[in-house]
Amino acid sequence: MKFKSTILVTIMLICGICLAQTNTTVVEDFKPSSVNQPGKQYPQVNSERRVRTSISAPQALKVQLDIGGVKYDMKKDEKGVWTGESNPQDEGFHYYQLNIDGASVPDPGSIYFYGASRWGSGIEIPAKDQDFYALKNVPQGKISQHNYFSKITNAWRRCFVYTPAEYEKNTSARYPVLYLQHGMGEDETGWPDQGKAGIILDNLIAEKKAVPMIIVMDNGYASKPSQNAAPARGPAGGMQTFEEVLIKEIIPMIDENYRTFSDREHRAMAGLSMGANQTIQITMNNLDKFSYIGGFSGTSNFPRTDEIDPATFMTGKFNDGAALNKQIKLFWLGLGTKEPNPFPGSVGAFKAMLDKKGVKYKFYESQGTAHEWLTWRRDLFQFAPLLFR
């Protein structure tokens, strides 16, 4: 046993050395991430799209960088500072965390974002097409935060509303509205923060590629007090009641407080993942209120990948393709080429069902991205120009 252990340790050491040797090929052109806290030097990203971070933890036995589902061991220097880097990551935004002697914590160097049901670290890997979501010297819209009390959930909720730059100037103009939803484990901060929805629209509107519009970003979790003892806001609550809150409370609040066009021709809804599922359910239940539908990396058959029977799926709402084509101005489906199962299968089965019934839709593929925010930023960038034309 002792001998075997020694061999095992030797093999592990050799592997460790191999790993270390691999690491010596890391390109040393790391720069601080664009979403670091002010003045913080770490985390950093290099031209290979590796993430390197560093933290002082003199008494720690083990510190790991946990990103993209992999935990990378970091190394301690003589001052007790641990440093380490990941393998190359996909372009775009990723959530990540540190693990210090078994404790999963945010990296003190990064700005924090809400995702994976927690406030935690995020990092930006520069993307080839990052210009479309870069802050530019164009007329800037603004994003407003509203607190409101929901009688349905008997709880306070929060809503972010993007208004385009011209909204404050053209004080008699009315605007169409896009309701835009986050995914599972995220909240109403997803689209304004890591989604960069306001910046994407400012840039599109400045180039006259999109019609000036209002975007409403609310929290997709909502449950009645009877449905869940946990707080109704955030992933701790359920999502049983979101449709009712959206239709009966959020839309009337927006139409009352903003200069909107309130007919179905001027109202769109889109969402990512869980939000896509919700979007398809809610818009199909309320076609008198919506005429544009966007499903980013998600469909209402999720997580099933088997063939959909339109006669029974969603109580037959997709049965009459010709009628739907008259009502729906745009049915958008998007997917990253690197998305994991079951997304390709479930979106594929949904598309096949639409094809079978002759329901028109546009399908967009984001190249080289997974079930992450660069996929959804690109979706919004491609989807928004098609709205309200």
From 5-13, 104-112, 210-218, 315-323, span contacting a second copy (CB under 8 A) = 104-112
Size of the site for a second copy (CB under 8 A): 56
- 112 makes contact with a second copy (CB under 8 A): yes
Shortest distance in whole angstroms from residue 5 CB to a second copy: 20
Residue 341 in tokens: 């199962």
Show the 3-state SS of 146-184: EEEEECCCCEEEEEEEEECHHHHCCCCCCECEEEEECCC
Q: What does the alpha-carbon distance between residue 382 and residue 380 come to, in Å, rounded to a whole number?
A: 5
* Strand pairing category for 118-125 and 112-115: antiparallel
Minimum Å gap between C-beta 55 and a second copy is 6
200 burial level (CB within 10 Å; 0-12, 13-18, 19+): buried
Cβ atoms < 10 Å from Cβ of 27: 9
Paired residues of 383 in beta bridges: none
Name the nearest CA neighbour of 220 among 270, 260, 285.
Answer: 270
> 48 — phi, psi (to 5°)?
-85, -5
Site for a second copy (CB under 8 A): which residue of 22, 23, 117, 337?
A: 117
Which of these ranges, 8-16, 146-154, 269-277, 367-375, lies near a second copy under the rule CB under 8 A?
A: 146-154
- Nearest approach, Cβ of residue 223 and a second copy (Å): 12
Which of these ranges, 55-63, 175-183, 317-325, 368-376, lies near a second copy under the rule CB under 8 A? 55-63
Of the residues 21, 24, 59, 226, which one makes contact with a second copy according to CB under 8 A: 59
Q: Residues of 106-131 as b/e, b for ≥16 C-beta within 10 angstroms?
A: bbebbbbbbbeeeebbbbbbebeebe
Query: Rule CB under 8 A: is residue 69 a binding residue for a second copy?
Result: no
Please identify, using beta-carbon distances, which residue of 57 and 152 lies nearer to a second copy: 57
Tell the smallest beta-carbon distance from residue 232 to a second copy (Å).
10
135 binds a second copy (CB under 8 A): yes
C-alpha 94/C-alpha 91 separation (Å) is 9
Q: Residue from 118, 264, 304, 317 that binds a second copy (CB under 8 A)?
A: 118
Q: Which of 25, 147, 226, 341 binds a second copy (CB under 8 A)?
A: 147
By the rule CB under 8 A, 238 interacts with a second copy: no
Footprint of a second copy on 272-301 (CB under 8 A): none
Structure tokens at 21: 């040797």
Say if residues 97 and 115 touch (Cβ distance below 8 Å). Answer: no
Only segment of 143-151, 306-314, 344-352, 361-369 that touches a second copy (CB under 8 A): 143-151
> What is the CA 170 to chain-centroid distance, rounded?
32
* CA distances, 16 to each of 9, 71, 77 (Å): 10, 15, 17
Binding-residue pattern over the window 181 to 220 for a second copy, x denoting contact by CB under 8 A: ------x----x-----xx---------------------
Q: Which stretch binds a second copy (CB under 8 A): 95-103, 316-324, 353-361, 366-374?
A: 95-103
Helices 197-206 and 373-383, packing angle to 10 deg? 30
Single residue of 57, 116, 206, 287 touching a second copy by CB under 8 A? 57
Residues near a second copy, by CB under 8 A: 37-39, 55-63, 80, 98, 100-106, 108, 111-112, 117-120, 135, 137, 140, 142-149, 156, 161, 168, 171, 187, 192, 198-199, 230-231, 233-237, 257-258
